[in-house]
Amino acid sequence: MQFQWSMPTRCFFGHDALRRHGEVLTSLGKRAMVVTGRAGAERSGALTGVTTLLDALGISWARFEQVEPNPSLETVLAGARATEEFAADFVIGIGGGSPMDAAKAIAALVHNRDPEALFAGRYDYPVLPVVAVPTTAGTGSEVTPYSILTDHGRGIKRSLSAPVLFPAFSFLDSRYLDTLPGPSLVNTVLDALSHAAEGFLARRATPLSDTLAMESLAIIGRHLAGLAEKERDPKLLDDLLYASQLAGMVIAQTGTTIAHGMGYGLTVHHEMDHGYANGAIFPAFLSFSMVHQPDRTTAILAALAMDGLEAFQDAVTGLLGPFPKIAAERLDQLAQAASQTANVHNTVPEPSLSDIRAMFTATFG
């Protein structure tokens, strides 16, 4: 057996995590840039939690609140300029995947001015420390070394990936999920499900990532049915945030597969939510996987307590409703773009263009 494992983020999980453990932020400096979207950080209570803490610790802060869903290169460059002007020592990302991914990119760009160098893996100058405070149960960004950005010039999503992008600290308080709208909770949990399952099927899967993936899927499987309407009791929210963290730790090691590669085009060109796109594609992706990796695919369905592929398809359709139809010509273009992503090479076996086209057609045709 041979594998590598690295998870350098120090995580604090539980109610009042910020209040109980927030003093660790003093080790990062005296000035913080708080990176958020326009609504989620406030609605969840996480923004108040963070700023109250910073004030109590005597840490000066400014807020960059311009992060849109699927953050663009332009946005993170503007955030880096604001962070440099404020002379921040560290960056705090509060929200779902978009603000946390943006916080990482901003932290990297303050001293490394050229995003192309970062995309090529060249980090010539220090990256500011990042603190992550998730307010959704899906992205896992609080425990990954990834930042996914939208390059509107090229019309594609592009990934920053480097060990220096792991957050220094993450604070996971499931009470911040309490006000998340039902559809957002569903979409983000389906994103977490796809992380765990794709990590389990990925070429880069390891024995340790498999263990975390199975645990994550088992927890998600217990809560999936009727998720949007469920009462948000503390146990449910703790479970979902924990499962999402586990799934993030999985993809931090394994990366994602063609299911995420296919989802990227849908979010950039069809304004589809990231988790929704992955969830919609997933029944077709598991059908593909069932042919080529039957044992692993069966294990995923068993962990989710699903009685076969059809039951899984029904569960996803029940949560997301009927999927939108997309014209055949457009699906060809999306398949072509997905076939160019690095995700193809992490999929077992590497799907052909016609495999990808067939998965798109089964879902949106």
Binding site for Fe ion (CB under 5 A): 191
Neighbours of 48 (CB within 10 A): 12
Least distance CB 63 / Fe ion (angstroms): 26
Q: What are the b/e assignments for 104-142, b being 16+ CB within 10 Å? A: bbbbbbbebeebeebeeeebeeebbbbbbbbbbbbbbbb
User: In this structure, is the dihedral angle defined by the CA atoms of residues 140, 146, 147 and 150, taken in order, positive or negative?
Assistant: negative
Q: How far is the CB of 54 from Fe ion (least distance, A)?
A: 29
Helix, strand or coil for residue 259? Answer: helix
Shortest approach of Fe ion to residue 177 CB, angstroms?
17
| Cα gap 349→362, rounded to integer Å | 19
Q: How far is the CB of 99 from Fe ion (least distance, A)?
A: 15
Alpha-carbon span 121 to 119, nearest angstrom? 5
Cβ distance to Fe ion smaller for residue 101 or 191: 191
Neighbours of 324 (CB within 10 A): 11
Least distance from Fe ion to the Cβ atom of residue 127, Å: 22
Nearer to Fe ion, 82 or 100 (CB): 100
129 vs 263, beta carbon nearer Fe ion: 263
Nearer to Fe ion, 17 or 240 (CB): 240
Please report the sign of the dihedral spanned by the C-alpha atoms of residue 198, residue 199, residue 203, residue 207: negative
Q: What does the alpha-carbon distance between residue 13 and residue 238 come to, in Å, rounded to a whole number?
A: 9
Residue among 110, 115, 146 nearest 32 (CA): 110
Nearer to Fe ion, 242 or 276 (CB): 276
Query: Which residue in the shown chain puts its C-beta closest to Fe ion?
Result: 191
Q: Which lies closer to Fe ion via its Cβ, residue 191 or residue 238?
A: 191
| Distance, CA of 70 to CA of 313 (rounded, Å) | 26
Residue (54 or 142) nearer to Fe ion, CB: 142
Least distance to Fe ion, CB of residue 258, Å? 13
b/e map 147-171, b = 16+ CB within 10 Å: bbbbeeeeebbbbbbbebbbbbbbb
CB 108 within 8 A of CB 160: yes
Report strand pairing: 146-151 vs 156-161. Answer: antiparallel
Q: Which is nearer to Fe ion, 256 or 289 (CB)?
A: 256
Classify strands 130-134 and 169-172 as parallel, antiparallel or unpaired: parallel
Instruction: Break the chain down into helix, strand, coil percent, rounded to 5.
Output: 60, 10, 30
We find the least distance from the C-beta atom of residue 196 to Fe ion, in angstroms, to be 11
Is 173 or 191 the residue whose CB approaches Fe ion more closely?
191
Smallest distance from the beta carbon of 195 to Fe ion, in angstroms? 6
What is the closest distance, in whole angstroms, from the C-beta atom of residue 327 to Fe ion in the complex? 26
